[in-house]
Amino acid sequence: MPVLTLTAGTLVVQSAYPDPPFDIMQNGTATGFDIELMRAVCKELHVTLRPVAYSGDDFNGIFDALVKGKCDAVISGTTITPERSALVLFSQPYLEFNQGIAVNAARTPRVTSTADLRGLTAGIQSGNTSDRVARDLLAQGDIAGIRYYPYHGIASALDDLEAGDIGLVIKLFPVISWLAKDRPQLKVALQVPTREKLGIALAKNRTDLCAAVDAAIKTLRANGVFARLKQEWLTG
């Protein structure tokens, strides 16, 4: 029997694009690790996936749709934090990553520690957990300032990094690695050991759906689907 969802037989899942390799829009079709994971989860739950895109400037606004009953789940490379857990219910963590720091290798070729970032301005997406890293670096004197970009403005941040208007961009390691790979001037020079656990967010009162999602992911780990998706999207 399918789980109870807002629309019978359909799981409405909201994600913020672009956030590769987790959430990608290719020719109008949603894909990426998170989306394909939820597609597999939906198969286990006997419902159909309906991905929807979040368009707000601040990432933390993505949880409003859960609070207001407009979607069933949020998956978007989402770090579980105490602040977010006060608003929504999270699944068991399904992945863990550090933050990555991308620099312009032509302008700052010898970055081997955060001390080498002194005098530089960091580019950060509004509402991203990289903001905590940037604030710590600023407090330590390792960077000179922080420039905020709307969540969907990550390409603008990378353009500014290429142009030398900012000195670094901080974002979850697999995401910044993916975004920098086709920009020869840029390199991911450092990881900051934040060990962020990623989870699927659900409405606070949906313990039943959360348990069903956790059970589905447990099955996907056991049958090899989860490992196949990791190999496809998160390796290399």
CB 44 within 8 A of CB 219: yes
Residue 47 pLDDT grade (very low, low, confident, very high; cuts 50, 70, 90): very high
With 70 as the cut, is the pLDDT of residue 236 above it?
Answer: no
Q: How much is the pTM?
A: 0.92
φ/ψ region of 219 (left if φ > 0, alpha if ψ in -120 to 50, else beta) reads alpha
- What pLDDT, in 10s, does the model give residues 17-45? 989 999 999 998 999 999 999 999 999 99
Query: What are the structural domains, with CATH classification, of the chain?
Result: 10-94+199-233 (3.40.190.10), 98-195 (3.40.190.10)
Contact 143, 74 (CB under 8 A): no
Neighbouring residues of 83: CB distance < 8 A, sequence distance ≥ 6: 60
What are the pLDDT digits (tens) for 166-184? 999 999 999 999 999 999 9
109-139 residue pLDDT tens: 999 999 999 999 999 998 889 999 999 999 9
* Mean pLDDT of all residues belonging to the chain: 95
- Amino acid 57: pLDDT: 85
Q: Is 98 exposed, middle or buried (0-12, 13-18, 19+ CB in 10 A)?
A: middle
Q: What is the 8-class DSSP label of residue 7?
A: B
The pLDDT-based confidence of 1 (bands split at 50, 70, 90) is: low
Which among 178, 123, 192, 185 has a CA at the least distance from the CA of 151? Answer: 123
Query: Could you report the per-residue pLDDT of 81-91, keeping only the tens digit for each?
Result: 999 999 999 99
As given in the structure block, the two tokens for residue 129 are 């957990």
122 in helix, strand or coil? strand
